[in-house]
Structure 1
Amino acid sequence: MTSRRSQRTFSAVRLPDLLASRRGRLAAFFLLYLTEGIPAGFTATAVATQMRRQGLQPAAIGAFIGALYVPWAIKWAFGPFVDVLSSDRWGRRRMWILFTQTMMVVTLLAAMPVSFTTRLWLFTAIILVHNVFSATQDVAIDALAVNVLRGDERGLANGLMFGGNYVGNAIGGSGVLLLTPLIGFKATFLFVAAAIALVTLLVPAPMRELPGPPRLAANGSRLRAVGKELGRFVRDTGKAFVGSRAAFIAIFLALLPMGGYALSLSLQSNLAVELGLDDRRIGLLGLGSTALSAGFCVLGGWLSDRLGRRRTLATFIVGTTLPTFAMAIAMHRFGWIMPISPLAAGRPIPPHELVTIFWVLTLSYAVFQGLMYGVGTAIYMDVTTPAVAATQFTAYMALCNVVYSYTSTWQGRAVERWGYPVTLTLDGAFGLVSVFLLPFMGRLGRGDPR
């Protein structure tokens, strides 16, 4: 009797296969992208904030943030492994999602006892490995989406995926900072790991991915097949890059920052701590910035469909530099030039007016960043050759991650050498270079009506 009751109870709580229904598929990809965003927000926002609060210098924090983007810059190389090394029994994509999300939890727990103030190299190495698994997870999720989403679901699904990433960033960044005063920073590693583990149990674990199409018999080992896939990727992408003038110019566009970046990377986290913001206020600032960027990202894409990609993108790129230049002027005006450690004895009290300006300009920047991001991604879709869309678009996105990596690194060093006003000015000026490339791209087709 007890055994039968237990079996009935287990059946009653059996988790659904979300891929089996339209609503389930939409919910599944929202939650899977949520797990991408949570650790990204945690490391880039919450961890960076605590690093500065505990006395690490801007150059070290900038190098740490820059290293986080390296796996995302080369994630195209993970695709052939996901495609070739898979099993229909476990689900070709589901297997990789389960494995990578499990390892994301393991690496976060491994980083928890490591002090980034005394062993930054080890902490960075562990988080770098974590990001390798996270980038591979992204490749597997996108591959699963391509295979299971129907044509009439893809638009809404992509919006939900992007929204899930934003929500995850807010939870891992601002949410953790708001939670830190209550449970302590070390305990937030458990919170982030638990969130990823919960989604893993609810979404990919009960998922039933249908077998993929039969594979062609491979000559030699699977590793050799991976090598062939990598070679094919490079060849196809290379041909697509030179297939049109717009596609070729887009390479250089992807390697340049689209506007100012300083008010969204490690420099902003450093400055927030130096200006006396506690974790709660930094968390609220992050939530406000995320909400604004997410909403205006949708508006930016809508405007670009009606007014033209290049025209709107140029306007929004210039828009991101305005708060950047204004912050440089304000820092110079109030004499807050060089970084000041929050642990320094007798450090000056930040002027209230400067703190208010920082809030206003950071939120203003978030508006233009959202507008720009909504158009910036679309312009790469416009120039991508449909026959090799997956490889070419992935390559453009990888180059964009290279920009985040080198920008965060050079800004951390520049702040220590020249101070905040000069670094902010250079960031804004360098961000305007991409505007001058847009006229050389020519018409972009459907995405550039004017």
Structure 2
Amino acid sequence: MPETTEAIKQTGGIGAWWRSLEQYRDRRVLLILPLGFASGLPLLLTFSTLSAWFAKAGVGRATIGAFALVGTPYAFKFLWSPLIDRLPPPIPIGRRRGWGLAIQLALVAATLALGSCDPKVQLARMAAFAILVAFLSASQDVVIDAYRVEILTPDQQGPGAAMIQTGYRIAMLISGAGALIIAARYGWFAAYATMAALLSVGMLVFIFGPEPAAPPERHTGARGLDAVREWLATAVTGPFADFMRRPLWPAIVIFIVAYKLGEAMAGVMAMPLYISIGFSLNEIAAISKLVGFFATVIGAIAGGVVTSKLGVMRALILCGILQSAGNLFYVLQAVGGHRLDYLALCVAAENLTGAMAGTALIAYLSDLCSPAFTATQYALLSSLAAVGRTMVASSGGVLADKLGWVPFFMLTTIATIPALLLLAWIAGRESWAVPASGKELSHR
């Protein structure tokens, strides 16, 4: 009945959820999807896909775990983000688009160089190229995140976070499952070369997409050293000083670092677990492709809808609990052994809950940014989120060796609990707006 349907849309309940879904049809929200794809594609090439390559080549667990440190640039990208935020781009097609296209061209070359190496005799060279890929990937993230936050309106940040996560997680499936399929049939160089070619998806957005409006610049006419000091105050110290004026900012920093710690610890050891049980690359890839794809899309969209409907804080708590519980499926896999149904459950749980929690966290980080310092502040906040994935998760191989698979994955399940308790403490001391319409995301 058309009248009844329209009446529901105009009221609460189902109508509020419907309005949240309607925002995904906006052209600018849809434009974020391929950028999310470009952002997520390089990550696994220096993470679990590289771990699978090493495991097949006979590299030890401790070395595989230590290679998680090549992701260190993700944790420190805020150090060079002021340069990307303020300096003229190498390609003169706009501040965000020019930097984005230039970085992606360099990223293609670095990915090809990494794929041409042999882990049996060139581990040091692979470490250098992997760090370069991670550096360029982190740099493109600075541009993509600033582009997303600036091009979307405040009420589109939740759906935008869902789209960036959807593209990101799909890319992770392709650079994970897709790369494994290609590697099993044609070799590792072919796999990495294919991933490099797929980065052109993001280039198309930067070539043909709109350039976000730049915030107004404040010029005092200073020259010489005074001009340098003015630039440093605006581009470097300004974003950090602005963030530290926020109440409870130290607690917010700790929460961001710890929120996805358990997922990161489990993720770095997932591939070695599957391979040690006896799964082939084709089996892992097939399950990831069939199950992981749908779980990822559903999780990202569900995370965006939940964030829009319930508000950022409640979404973070709910999705964080689900994310922690999802690691229990690794325990099931370790106990159950070589069973494809358990592998399907494990992949589905990881992608569904990880995408939901990632979407909620992205919306939260976007909401924390000031319009005048978008790139630098978001780079700082997302760098903090990457600390757990790189610095702490790099010890995953050593812990898995000492504890065994089951105790290790039980540890990853409870690792996020302190972050959730801290978030509850923060929520009790801040004024959080929980919207009834599902359109207001800000907690300020």
Q: Does the CA-based 8 Å contact 1:86-1:93 persist in structure 2?
A: no
Which residue matches 1:42?
Answer: 45
AA partner of residue 423 (structure 1): F
Which residue matches 1:192?
Answer: 195
2:223 paired with 1:219: yes
**Residue among 213, 235, 238 paired with 2:241:** 235
| Structure 2: unaligned runs, 5 residues or longer | 1-24, 437-442
2:123 paired with 1:120: yes
Which residue matches 1:178?
Answer: 181
Residue 235 of structure 1: SS of its match in structure 2? helix
- Cα distance in 2 for residues equivalent to 1:140 and 1:299: 26
2:271 paired with 1:269: yes
How many pairs align? 405
- Cα distance in 2 for residues equivalent to 1:26 and 1:132: 27
AA partner of residue 240 (structure 2): V
Q: Does the CA-based 8 Å contact 2:142-2:378 persist in structure 1?
A: no
**Residue among 71, 74, 81 paired with 1:72:** 74
- CA change 1:257–1:119 in 2 (3 A) is farther
Which residue matches 2:397?
Answer: 412
**Residue among 413, 416, 422 paired with 1:431:** 416
Identity %: 21
**Residue among 237, 250, 253 paired with 1:251:** 253
- CA change 1:223–1:164 in 2 (3 A) is farther
- Cα distance in 2 for residues equivalent to 1:155 and 1:187: 37
Which residue matches 1:344?
Answer: none
Give 1:282-293 correspondences, 5 Å limit.
282-287=284-289, 288-293=291-296
Larger radius of gyration: 1
AA partner of residue 433 (structure 1): P
**Residues 155-204 of structure 1: per-residue CA shift (max 9 Å, x gap):** 6555433322222222222222222233222112221222224653x443
- Cα distance in 1 for residues equivalent to 2:419 and 2:365: 14
Which residue matches 1:15?
Answer: none
**Residues 235-264 of structure 1: per-residue CA shift (max 9 Å, x gap):** 222222xxx24x442222112144732685
Q: Does the CA-based 8 Å contact 1:309-1:448 persist in structure 2?
A: no
**Residues 340-382 of structure 1: per-residue CA shift (max 9 Å, x gap):** xxxxxxxxxxx445x6434323423433333333333344456
Q: Tell me the CA shift for residue 269 of structure 1.
A: 0.9
AA partner of residue 318 (structure 1): I
RMSD value, Cα: 3.6
Q: Does the CA-based 8 Å contact 1:34-1:165 persist in structure 2?
A: yes
Q: Does the CA-based 8 Å contact 2:150-2:213 persist in structure 1?
A: no
AA partner of residue 171 (structure 1): I
- Cα distance in 2 for residues equivalent to 1:28 and 1:309: 23
**Residues 248-291 of structure 1: per-residue CA shift (max 9 Å, x gap):** 42222112144732685121011111122222221233332343
Residue 42 of structure 2: SS of its match in structure 1? helix
- Cα distance in 2 for residues equivalent to 1:406 and 1:428: 18
**Residue among 403, 414, 417 paired with 2:388:** 403
Q: Tell me the CA shift for residue 101 of structure 1.
A: 0.8
Q: TM-score, normalised by structure 2?
A: 0.78
**Residues 118-165 of structure 1: per-residue CA shift (max 9 Å, x gap):** 222321221211221222222223334455556787665554333222
**Residues 210-233 of structure 1: per-residue CA shift (max 9 Å, x gap):** 995677356338976664421222
Q: TM-score, normalised by structure 1?
A: 0.77
Residue 192 of structure 1: SS of its match in structure 2? helix
- Cα distance in 1 for residues equivalent to 2:347 and 2:95: 43
Q: Does the CA-based 8 Å contact 1:379-1:447 persist in structure 2?
A: no
Q: Does the CA-based 8 Å contact 1:58-1:416 persist in structure 2?
A: yes
- CA change 1:117–1:408 in 2 (3 A) is farther
- CA change 1:152–1:416 in 2 (3 A) is closer
Q: Does the CA-based 8 Å contact 1:174-1:282 persist in structure 2?
A: yes
Q: Does the CA-based 8 Å contact 1:30-1:161 persist in structure 2?
A: yes
**Residue among 375, 379, 382 paired with 2:360:** 375
**Residue among 105, 108, 118 paired with 1:105:** 108
